[in-house]
Structure 1
Amino acid sequence: MDAYLLLITLLAIVIVIVGVSVFKWHAFISLVVASLFLAIFSGMSFDKIVTAYETGVGGTLGHLIGIIALGTILGKMLAESGAGLRIANFFIKVFGEKRLPWAMFLSGFIIGIPVFFEVGILILLPLIISIAKASKKNLLLIGLPAIAGLSIVHGLVPPHPGAVAAIGIYGADMGKVLLYSLIIAIPAGILGGPLFAKFISKRVKPEGKPKTIIIEDKDDSQMPSTGMSFFIILLPVILMVFGTMAGYLTKLIGAGKGTEHVFAFIGSPLIALLISVFAAYYFLGHRLGITKKQMKEFTEDCIMPVGSIALIIGAGGGFKQILIDSGVGATIGNLAQNFDLSPLVLAFVIAGLIRIATGSATVALTTAAGIVAPIIEHMTGVNKELLVIVTGAGSLMFSHVNDAGFWMVKEYLGLTIKETFKTWTALETILSFSAFILALIVNAFI
């Protein structure tokens, strides 16, 4: 039964790839067909298939749809006002063209600490496109380092939800996890970011172009100041930091729970982006002489492509839920549990296999931690903090068609499926294995 389930899963993934690349179906259609195929042939009862699919779509889009829409509008305002180009020119001047990938990795790493991966992509997208245009460099050379910075932080570093959940399950120390994760995440991110980007950008030249944001050339006098441009692009990050530190800030100023709730509300991704959009409308729109009608047209122009992207991401969420409810994740976890491996290797392998099967880094991380935690309960000498990190590392590997992040990177950067596998999937796998190896090295010295 286990072998049959794994075969059906593999065939479902093949359906997605063949549907998009051979039959030229829209990715949404391919994902729906693959989800139904897997659900039916894995033996799910017909009365549960649609409910499971809708749960997956809702769970993925529930917190993402507003963020995607507002992030795209913010990106459009940064592009149309020239703020993106202003920051791009500043980066080129300060860092020089040769060091731009390193600057983008640093930007992604820092911005990724307080915000979710999906939000970080939307914040950085106009900057990536602007710098690529201004420097006339391959988009991948500029974009992949930023994405690597976001991804490695999301997978390993608290306070991201997967890492926090694993800390609770293993009973690890939050402070030590934070310290070790930063020591490991930086070199792993460099390998998967600037170094890999330099290698792959010489071999892959994207066939398409980003669809949601198009950067037009502007005269210097028409663009906002550098300071204002940075303020708008960093405003959502600043607000989200307030949200993350709500408890600490209220204690610092001696305020009560009500103030803490207000900080947390303002710092939630949806509200932070909404505030930032209105700030962009005023400072990058009204103050620069852009009319209300033009701003409405900008908004409508960038919202239309979001419909297609939302459908694809939602369908990916539905596919993921079918994979989980059909028992694929549990099957792989049970099979891996029989391996005679050290706890660090076991956690990495289980998380990796579940990630490949279900497409969710958070599901892989928490499920693997739940499987490994009872095994190590009576063992001595196991570093629980590094166990959190290797589980997070495993949850990053081999992102493919069942992962919403795969489709976000593909659609927002205008890549083909083949290009996305060569770039994003390879990047994630490099981050995963390099973080795992570095964790083993750290474990040998402590």
Structure 2
Amino acid sequence: MDAYLLLITFLAIVIVILGVSWFKWHAFISLLVASMFLAIFSGMSLDKIVTAYETGVGGVLGHLVGILALGTILGEMLSKSGAGIQIANYFIKMFGEKKLPWAMFFSGFIIGIPVFFEVGILILLPLVISIQKASKQNILLIALPAIAGLSIVHGIVPPHPGAIAAIGIYNANLGKVLLYSLIIAIPAGILGGPLFAKWVNKRVTPEGEPKLIQVEDVSQSKMPSAGISFLTILMPVILMVLGTAAPYLRVPKLVEKIFAFIGSPLIALLLSCFFAYYFLGFRQGMDRKLVKKFTEECLLPVGSIILIIGAGGGFKQILIDSGVGDVIARMAGHLSLSPLVLAFLIAALIRIATGSATVALTTAAGIISPVIAHTTSINLELLVIATGAGSLIFSHVNDAGFWMVKEYLGLSIKETFKTWTVLETILSLAGFAGALILNMFL
């Protein structure tokens, strides 16, 4: 039965890939068909299939739909006003073209600490496209380091939800996890970001172009200042940092609740959009009709990516409810390995099966927790990091991040596998190697 479930899962993933690349179906249709195929042939009860699928769609879109819309509006205002070009020109002057991948990596790394991966992409992408337009370089050279910075932080650094959940399950020390994860994340991110981007940009040239965010030419006299441009792009980050720091500030309870509210990704982006409407729109001479027109124009293409990401969430839920995640966990559990290696392998297999880094991290931690209950020699903090590293490996068609990167960078499925999937696997293996090396000295 276990081998049969794995075969059906493999065939479902093949359906997604062939549907998009050969039959030329929309990715939403491919994912929906693959989900139904897996659900029916895995033996799920017919009356539960649609409910499970809808639960998966709602689970991912409930968190993302508002963030995607607001992030796209913010990106559009940065583009139409010329603020993105201002920031791009500043970076090019500061770092020079040869060091741009490094500048983008550290931008992604720093922005990624307080924000979710999906939010970070939407904050950084207008900047990436502006720099690419100004420098005329392969977009992969600029985009991949920024995405690598976001992803490695999302996978192993608290306060991201997967890492926080694993810390609670393993009863690890949060402060030590934060310290060790930063030590490991920087070299892993450099390997998967600037170094990999320099190698791959000579071998992959995207055939398409980013379409969801258009960066247009604006005369220098009509552009906002570099200061306002930076403040606009950093405003959601500042608000989210404030929200994260709220419990540790010595302020009245009401003020703490207000900070936490305005620091939630949805509200931080909403406030940032109004900030952009005024400082990048009205103050630059745009009227209300023009601002409304830009908003409506940029939201139309978002419908497609929302459908794709929602369908990815539905596919993930079918994978979980059909028992594929449990099969993989049992297979890995039979191996007699070090808890660090076992945690990495179980998280990696669940990640490949379900597409969710957070699900992989929390599920693997739950499986490993009883294994280490009577062991005293395990470094629990590095166990959190090893599990997080496993949860990043081999992102593919059942991962919302795969489709976000593909759609926002204008890549084909094949190009996304060659770039994003490889990048995630490098981050995963490098993070795991870092945990093993550190474990030798602690």
**TM > 0.5 fold call:** yes
Partners of 2:296 and 2:217 lie apart in 1 by 21
Amino acid at match of 2:379: N
Amino acid at match of 2:387: T
CA contact (8 A) 2:236 2:272 kept: yes
| CA positional deviation for 1:32 | 0.2
Structure 2 residue aligned with 1:422: 418
| CA positional deviation for 1:37 | 0.1
CA contact (8 A) 2:80 2:218 kept: no
Amino acid at match of 2:109: F
Residue correspondence of structure 1 range 275-424 to structure 2 within 5 A: 275-424=271-420
User: Number of residues paired by the alignment?
Assistant: 442
Structure 1 residue aligned with 2:101: 101
Partners of 2:60 and 2:431 lie apart in 1 by 27
Deviations 1:57-89 (A, max 9, x none): 000000100000000000000000000000000
Residue correspondence of structure 1 range 29-48 to structure 2 within 5 A: 29-48=29-48
Amino acid at match of 2:314: G
| CA positional deviation for 1:291 | 1.4
Structure 1 residue aligned with 2:136: 136
Q: Which secondary structure does the structure 1 equivalent of 2:433 belong to?
A: helix
Partners of 2:209 and 2:313 lie apart in 1 by 25
Consecutive unaligned residues of structure 1, counting only runs of 5 or more, are: none
Partners of 1:213 and 1:411 lie apart in 2 by 10
Residue correspondence of structure 1 range 74-153 to structure 2 within 5 A: 74-153=74-153
Partners of 2:226 and 2:35 lie apart in 1 by 47
Structure 1 residue aligned with 2:230: 230
Residue correspondence of structure 1 range 194-213 to structure 2 within 5 A: 194-213=194-213
Partners of 1:312 and 1:208 lie apart in 2 by 18
| CA positional deviation for 1:186 | 0.1
Partners of 2:13 and 2:286 lie apart in 1 by 46
> TM-score, normalised to structure 1's length?
0.99
Partners of 1:213 and 1:246 lie apart in 2 by 33
Amino acid at match of 1:379: T
Partners of 1:416 and 1:212 lie apart in 2 by 14
Amino acid at match of 2:359: V
Partners of 2:243 and 2:95 lie apart in 1 by 31
Partners of 2:426 and 2:222 lie apart in 1 by 42
4+ long deviations beyond 6 Å = none
Partners of 2:26 and 2:139 lie apart in 1 by 24
CA contact (8 A) 2:209 2:411 kept: yes
Amino acid at match of 1:216: E
Partners of 1:231 and 1:332 lie apart in 2 by 46
Partners of 2:82 and 2:212 lie apart in 1 by 16
| CA positional deviation for 1:438 | 1.1
Q: Which secondary structure does the structure 2 equivalent of 1:245 belong to?
A: helix
Amino acid at match of 2:377: G
Identity level (%): 77
Partners of 2:329 and 2:81 lie apart in 1 by 50
| CA positional deviation for 1:154 | 0.3
Amino acid at match of 1:168: G
Structure 2 residue aligned with 1:220: 220
Amino acid at match of 1:405: G
Structure 2 residue aligned with 1:59: 59
Partners of 1:217 and 1:289 lie apart in 2 by 16
Q: Which secondary structure does the structure 1 equivalent of 2:297 belong to?
A: helix
Q: CA RMSD in A?
A: 0.6
Amino acid at match of 2:354: T
Amino acid at match of 1:230: F
| CA positional deviation for 1:380 | 2.5
Deviations 1:15-60 (A, max 9, x none): 0000000000000000000000000000000010000000000000
| CA positional deviation for 1:219 | 1.7
| CA positional deviation for 1:298 | 0.6
Partners of 1:264 and 1:375 lie apart in 2 by 37
CA contact (8 A) 2:129 2:215 kept: yes
| CA positional deviation for 1:189 | 0.1
CA contact (8 A) 2:312 2:399 kept: yes
Q: Which secondary structure does the structure 2 equivalent of 1:202 belong to?
A: coil
Partners of 1:130 and 1:67 lie apart in 2 by 21
**Greater CA deviation, 377-386 or 425-434?**
377-386
